[in-house]
Amino acid sequence: MKRYLFLLVGYETPTTEVLNEWEGWLDKHIDRIEGVGGQLSKGVYLTKDSVEQLDWDDESLSLVSIYKAADFEEAQAIAQDAPITQAVQLYEIYSYR
C-alpha cells in the first residue's frame, strides 16, 4: 500500500449532521487511516526573510491526515467520498525505502 496526504481545504463550523457524516466516513475508511493529524488552526507562511500570518478563511487548510491506498485512483475515490466542505488536496507520499 502507498501512503497519501489528505489536506482538507476550507472551514465552516460543523453542524451535528456534518459531524455525523464525518464520523460515518471515518468509520467506513478506518482500515485506511494511518494517521490523523487533526484540525489545523493558527498558521504562518515562512520564508527566509519574512513571517506572514495566514488568514483563517474558506481557502485555509483545516485538516491533515494520512491514508493508505493501493494507488492514486483509490486514494482519490476515498477522498471524493468524504463530506468535503470546500475541497481536498491529495498528495502521494514518496517513500525512500
DSSP codes of every residue in 28-83:
HTGGGEEEEEEE----EEE-SS-EEEPP-STTSEEEEEEEEESSHHHHHHHHHTS-
CB 8 within 8 A of CB 62: yes
pLDDT attached to residue 69: 96
- 28-85 tens-digit pLDDT: 998 998 877 677 878 899 999 999 998 877 788 888 889 999 999 999 999 998 887 7
Here the cell at position 5 is: 496526504
What whole-number distance in Å separates Cα of residue 97 and Cα of residue 70? 17
Domain that holds residue 8: 2-93
pLDDT attached to residue 61: 85
Q: Which residue has the cell 494517521?
A: 35
- How many domains, the chain? 1
Q: What is the pTM of this model?
A: 0.82
pLDDT attached to residue 59: 80
- 2-27 tens-digit pLDDT: 999 999 888 778 889 988 998 998 89
Whichever domain contains 33, its CATH number is 3.30.70.1060
